[in-house]
Structure 1
Amino acid sequence: MIRLADIRSYAMALPEVVEKPHFRLPGFRVADKLLAHLEKGDAHAIMCVGQAEARTAAAAQPDIYEEVWRNGRIFVGLRVDLAKVTEEGMRELIEHAWRNRAPKRLVALHDSR
């Protein structure tokens, strides 16, 4: 099972990520844009990946992933079951969320290293 400490470790390893609560729950941001946060109860996390990636993941493994929409119209991200996702899968999602939300200059700098 992936825990908050794991998510924190994966997220904080990426450039310019800060931990900042999101509605009083643990959240991680880059350039003040949310990239991941835990849901109440710590059983699920929401990853701010692209809509196409979320759709693909949810279709491939609906027991682990679920698309999240607000009011049925606004795409929010990908809900991840922390008891079922693998460590590798979670690391990849956090990096994808970071790439989705980080400024392009920061992603380019990171990739050039």
Structure 2
Amino acid sequence: MATEDDVRRLALALPGTGEKTMYGTPAFYVRGKWFARMREERDVLAVPVPSEEEKLELTAARPGAFFTTPHFDGYAAVLVRLPEVDEEELGELLTDAWRLRAPKRLVAAFDA
């Protein structure tokens, strides 16, 4: 079971990241682009994904862990119920989201 503290620790461990608020909740950025945001529910995290198809695959495969709302219709982002994912899976989700938003040079340096 992942928590908001796990999100913060894992997100801020990625290169070039910082935290500020978005819509009154904690959000995590890489070089000015958001890659994760806590929702008002505080046990729900929003993260971008590569495509809407991937969002649909995640929500269909594990609807208890991944879901969406009309606000995210037409947008490649998924909502994650933190109690339904473990720390390892959370780390993978955050790293994948970070890779989508980080500059290519930063990703290359991270991979090196």
- The TM-score with structure 2 as length reference comes to 0.89
* Larger displacement relative to structure 2 (28-37 or 49-58): 49-58
Where 1:37 maps in the other structure, the secondary structure is strand
Q: Which runs of 5+ in 1 are unaligned?
A: none
Count of paired positions = 111
What residue in structure 2 maps to residue 30 of structure 1? 30
Secondary structure (helix, strand or coil) at the match of 1:63 reads coil
2:20/2:27 contact within 8 Å kept: yes
Q: State the partner residue of 1:60.
A: 61
CA RMSD of aligned residues (A): 1.6
In structure 1, the residue matched to 2:71 is: 70
Give the partner amino acid of 2:57.
Answer: T
Tell me the amino acid that sits aligned with residue 65 of structure 1: F
Instruction: Determine helix, strand or coil for the equivalent of 1:70.
Output: helix
Identity of aligned residues (%): 34
Deviation at 1:6, TM superposition (A): 0.6
More helix by share: 2
Q: Counterparts of 1:43 and 1:110 in 2: how far apart (Å)?
A: 28
Q: Gapped runs of 5+ residues in structure 2?
A: none
Alpha-carbon distance in 2 for matches of 1:110, 1:42: 29
